[in-house]
Amino acid sequence: MSEQKIDTRLWSTKAKNLTPYVPGEQPKHDNLCKLNTNENPYPPSPKVAAAITAELTDQASGLRLYPAPESDELRQSLATTYGLAPEQVFVGNGSDEVLALVFAAFFMKERPLLAPDISYSFYPVYAETFGVELITIPLRDDFSIDPDDYRRPCSGIIVANPNAPTGLLLPLPAIAKMASEHPNAVIVIDEAYIDFARAEEGKEVSAIHLINEHDNILVTQTFSKSRSLAGLRVGMAFGNASLIEALTRMKNSFNSFPLDKLAQAGATASLQDPDYFSQVCDNIIKLRDVMSRELTKLGFEVIPSHANFVFARPPQGNASEIATSLREQGIIVRHFNKPRINEHLRITVGTIEQTKRLIKALSELSG
């Protein structure tokens, strides 16, 4: 509603002072080339719809009954998939809800939280929501993270890896070092895009297995990107059982049943189709290479991406102008009007048809 009509008389100070997160827009036009919110261009595994349909027609359980409050079956499936115990797994209503609970459970402390200055823009919002002091640490000029910059007293560190919107990957040894240097801080690695990351031969990219060696590493992931389930709202966290227990208590002091029955069934089924999952991720990586190459040909500075988006600076740095022009042609990309990154565009990796349409439009703009 328009600002002048809002009566804040009855609001809490908290409500008055909040600056909410603004997600990328979700317009509903036909023939839109939507490359702004990092959705997967492929549908989820067919097993997902099959499992949801089975759940819908199961008269014995059915939607009239409450779901399992701790999503036991889904957590068991995640544990099996990643070689963990169910006690090391937490699930929530999208990784956004998981991250909110993480802020409440681990960062509401005297000491500040550390995060890169350029990262997921929901982090400062959570900090405000939960009264957490957030100190942002500047990325290097090439947008990479220097772990040594994080050597200061803190309640925790949160890093998106691959980082958003840069797409850069922090290697596991740097994460392990951070965790060792801060035994009394929780190191949160937000791996929303990790399934699109590829390291050199034989090296792991996910910090999941570091949780067995470091009781202060918590890894968050999501079904929204690599598993094509943004519409189903399922996210998860992996960590030492004591960290997971804190999240569970926090959840049960806020909302006991955040995952409905269909979301639990659909997410569980998606884990049971590993071949489909690998193929989708591989295809997106190939399409990312195509898009990166074509953008480079057009003179864009393209940061080598480990995510399902590409972060690139057009030759003239006129990113905002280009985003507006693309929009007029029904192509939506994301521009952040923020210091240091306002000359870049974040473009989701789409289908080959979408990529061609984007590149054609950009060629015409520059030609």
Residues ≥6 apart with Cβ < 8 Å to 343: 313, 314, 317, 318, 319
> Residue 52 or 139: which CB sits closer to its own copies?
52
- Residues in region 177-206 near its own copies by CB under 8 A: 184-186
Q: Which residue stretch of 11-19, 157-165, 197-205, 350-358 sits at the interface with its own copies (rule: CB under 8 A)?
A: 11-19
Instruction: Region of 228 please: left (phi>0), alpha (psi -120 to 50) or beta.
Output: left
CB of 344 to its own copies, least distance (A): 22
The string of DSSP letters for 97-125 reads: HHHHHHIIIII-SSSPEEEESSS-TTHHH
Q: Which of residues 140-169 bind its own copies (CB under 8 A)?
A: 155
Q: Do residues 282 and 129 make contact, with C-beta atoms less than 8 angstroms apart?
A: no
Which window, 65-73, 143-151, 289-297, 349-357, contacts its own copies (CB under 8 A)?
65-73
- Considering only residues 93 to 132 of the shown chain, the ones binding its own copies according to CB under 8 A are 93-94, 96-97, 100, 104-109, 125-126, 128-129
Nearer to its own copies, 11 or 81 (CB): 11
Report 15-34 residues binding its own copies (CB under 8 A): 15, 18-23, 26, 34
In angstroms, the CA 235 to CA 229 distance is: 10
Residue 275, SS3? Answer: helix
Nearest Cα to Cα of residue 181 among 213, 218, 153, 158: 153
| CA separation for the pair 297, 359 (Å, rounded) | 10
Q: Considering the complex, state which of residue 154 and residue 312 has its C-beta at the smaller distance from its own copies.
A: 154
Residue span binding its own copies (CB under 8 A) among the ranges 41-49, 288-296, 299-307, 344-352: 41-49
Contact flag: residue 304 with its own copies (CB under 8 A): no
Give Dmax (Cα) for the chain: 63
CB of 107 to its own copies, least distance (A): 7
Question: Smallest distance, Å, CB 226 to its own copies?
Answer: 11
Cα 346 to Cα 10, 20, 238, 314, 342, distances in angstroms: 39, 21, 28, 11, 10
Least separation, in Å, of the C-beta of 296 and its own copies? 28
Q: How far is the CB of 135 from its own copies (least distance, A)?
A: 17
Cβ(307)–Cβ(37) below 8 Å: no
Candidates 9-17, 196-204, 286-294, 318-326: pick the segment binding its own copies (CB under 8 A): 9-17
Contacts to its own copies from residues 344-363, by CB under 8 A: none
DSSP 200: S
Return the range that interacts with its own copies (CB under 8 A); candidates 144-152, 222-230, 281-289, 312-320.
222-230
**Least separation, in Å, of the C-beta of 148 and its own copies?**
23
Which of 145, 169, 197, 243 touches its own copies (CB under 8 A)?
243
CB of 39 closer than 8 Å to CB of 227: no
The count of chain residues that interact with its own copies, using the rule CB under 8 A, is: 95
Contact flags string 251-270 toward its own copies, x per CB under 8 A: xxxxxxxxxxxxx--x----
Q: Does 64 bind its own copies (CB under 8 A)?
A: yes
Closest separation between CB of residue 85 and its own copies, Å?
10
Tokens of 78: 């995640």
134: left (phi over 0), alpha (psi -120 to 50) or beta: beta
| Structure tokens that stand for 197 in this block | 């990351």
Q: Taking CB under 8 A as the rule, does residue 336 contact its own copies?
A: no
Q: What is the residue type of 13?
A: T
